[in-house]
A = this chain, B = another copy of it.
Amino acid sequence: MIKVYGVHGSPYVRKVLVALDYKNIPFEIVPQMPFSGDKEYLKINPLGKVPTLVDGDLTLGDSKVICRYLENAYPEPALYPQNLTENAMADWYEDLCGGHVADLAAAIFFQRFMRPLAFKQDPDEELISKITEKKLPPMLDYLESEMPEEGFLFGDFMMADLSVVSPFINAAYAGYEVDSSKWPKFAAMFSRVKEVSWVKKVLEQEAKALGMS
């Protein structure tokens, strides 16, 4: 059976769990904290990041890579658009939001949520302000310009929709809310994605795991 190394709460693990559930693929979660320094884990993922997927002899890191593999191995129901240019745009959104945007959101989450909890330290509010006031707004401006008036990016719910929203779910755990007066289409997308049943289910599991419910 497919194994997913990771923990609930990671914006990346979340994507893989939704993909597996959406495609009705059986799997088990192997609890693994990111950056734990665990030498056995570093053998299968030299970055120490989560998730890692193990499917038989295949060992893959990175949520984008894993979700693409799952799409190719289990094409139905589809989580990526068939159209060539839409497919490329889905890749681009996933890369942008799984990269720079997720790094910014992760920094807020770390400062406000993990640092007080795990290290009994106050968050670095100066850093948080720099992110929320300088670094995130141009990203949100761009994403706002790409969002549809209603529905999802490519018609039906797909991985791209969760990819753009996923970092902001973590930022919201840490008290950052996307300003719907500045970025109305993005804020509406954020709400819609959280109501997708497969996403909702994983978010309920996360809330339990993070002690928020």
**A residues whose Cβ falls under 8 Å from a Cβ of B:** 42, 46-47, 57-58, 60-62, 64-65, 68-69, 72-73, 84-85, 87-89, 91-92, 95-96, 99-100, 138-139, 141-142
* Closest B residue, CB atoms, query A57: B85
Q: Are A58 and B95 closer than 8 Å at their CB atoms? A: no
Interface pair A88/B58, CB less than 8 Å apart: yes
- Nearest-Cβ distance from residue A12 to partner chain B, whole angstroms: 12
Interface pair A69/B42, CB less than 8 Å apart: no
A206 shortest CB reach to chain B, Å:
24
Cross-interface CB contact of A96 among B58, B62, B68, B138, cutoff 8 Å = B62
CB distance from A55 to the nearest CB of B (A): 8
Residues of B within 8 A of A57 (CB): 85
Q: For chain A, what secondary structure do more than half of its interface residues adopt (helix, strand, loop), or is it mixed?
A: helix
Q: Which residues of B contact A141 (CB under 8 A)?
A: 46
Whether A95 touches B65, Cβ cut-off 8 Å, given contacts A58-B88, A60-B88, A60-B89, is yes
A48 to chain B: closest residue by CB: B138
Given A46-B142, A96-B46: A88 touches B62 (CB 8 Å cut-off): no
- Kindly list chain B residues whose C-beta atoms are within 8 Å of the C-beta of A46: 96, 138-139, 141-142
Assembled-state Cα–Cα distance A91/B141 (Å): 29
**In the assembled complex, which residues on chain B have CB atoms less than 8 Å from the CB atom of A61?**
92, 95-96
19 further A-B contacts with Cβ under 8 Å, apart from A57-B85, A69-B91, A72-B88, are A42-B138, A46-B141, A47-B96, A47-B100, A58-B88, A60-B91, A62-B92, A62-B95, A62-B96, A62-B99, A64-B95, A65-B88, A65-B91, A65-B92, A68-B91, A69-B84, A72-B87, A73-B84, A99-B99
* Separation of A61 and B92 alpha carbons in the complex (Å): 6
A42–B57 CA distance with the chains assembled, in angstroms: 42
User: Please, how many angstroms separate the alpha-carbon atoms of A85 and B70 in the complex?
Assistant: 10
A3 to chain B, nearest CB (A): 15
